[in-house]
Structure 1
Amino acid sequence: MTSQYWLLKTEPNEFSIDDLKAKGSNGEPWDGIRNYQARNFMREMAMGDTVLIYHSACAVPAIVGEGKIIKTAYDDHFALDPKSKYFDEKSSADKNRWSLVDVAFVEKWQKPVPLSTIKTVKALSEMKLVKQSRLSVSPVTADEYEVLITLK
């Protein structure tokens, strides 16, 4: 089976590519996803899939590096913890509505690829990042990935 590509958005002041790098090979659970479409995409991820890390809600939103999936979707335990900012009162141990995947650092790009650049590239005009800009997890086609890595 061929590897899939995904884009994961994060706010760098909350969790940046450098934070992911600091976690080492153990990676980090990708938490805080509370959108059903984004959750469903996470549930499609497979071991070894490539993820593009995108910094959002910052001065220059951009793809800043790559990670990989090291653990596929599992129940989001934060949804069950009343002390967590990601607590979901409608979730239960029997019916947890949310999922996590674990992501490990692969590479920080020397040259980030800003959204402003992505929007000017015709081959990327159908990318979910462009079409559904608020979605925090989205698929990236192999062709889009190949174009993006030429821009880094």
Structure 2
Amino acid sequence: MAHWLYKSEPSVWSWDSQVAQGAKGTFWNGVRNHVAKQNLMAMRLGEQGFFYHSNEGKAIVGIVEVIKEYYPDHTDQTGKFGMVDIKALKPLKRPVTLEDIKAEPKLKDMILVNNSRLSVQPVTDAEWALICKMGGL
């Protein structure tokens, strides 16, 4: 199974907002980048991802799970983009900041470090394991 990272500004949609949705989860909409779209299309039920607070906080704060695969995004007037549904699984015991990630040599090739603007991105198995460890899981 693949792993992912979802970026959201906490003032728009925070980890607490995601957790409040409970087991029913919610859609992850608003993606308008074709690379991020391809990532959403590649997601499968049960795959997990990091929930990352961008701009404010700049930290991985929790883990989410894909509960519905790619389908049309109702907010896209062009009909070109879609979304998946995700639910919160668990918070990290310690948030892993972007500063922490950049300071770890084993994470130097992580997309978050090298393409920080991509809103939905894959995470390798090795990156996943290391960040979970850094986050106290």
Same fold at TM > 0.5: yes
Overall identity of the aligned pairs, in %: 36
Q: Per-residue CA shift, 1:86-105, capped at 9, x if unaligned? A: xx3xx2xxxx2001100001
Q: What's the TM-score, normalizing by structure 1?
A: 0.87
Cα distance in 1 for partners of 2:85, 2:29 equals: 9
In structure 2, give the amino acid aligned to 1:35.
N
1:99 aligned residue? 82
Query: Shift of residue 131 of structure 1?
Result: 0.8
Cα distance in 1 for partners of 2:38, 2:95 equals: 27
Cα distance in 2 for partners of 1:62, 1:143 equals: 18
- Structure 1, unpaired ranges of 5+: 80-87
Cα distance in 1 for partners of 2:14, 2:2 equals: 22
Q: Per-residue CA shift, 1:58-90, capped at 9, x if unaligned? A: 1x30000000000000011111xxxxxxxx3xx
Q: Which has the higher strand share?
A: 2
1:38 aligned residue? 36
Q: What's the TM-score, normalizing by structure 2?
A: 0.96
Q: How many equivalent residue pairs? A: 135
Cα distance in 1 for partners of 2:93, 2:110 equals: 22
Match of 1:150 among 124, 133, 137: 133
Moved over 4 A (4+): none
Query: Shift of residue 33 of structure 1?
Result: 0.5
- Structure 2, unpaired ranges of 5+: none
| Pair member with larger Rg | 1
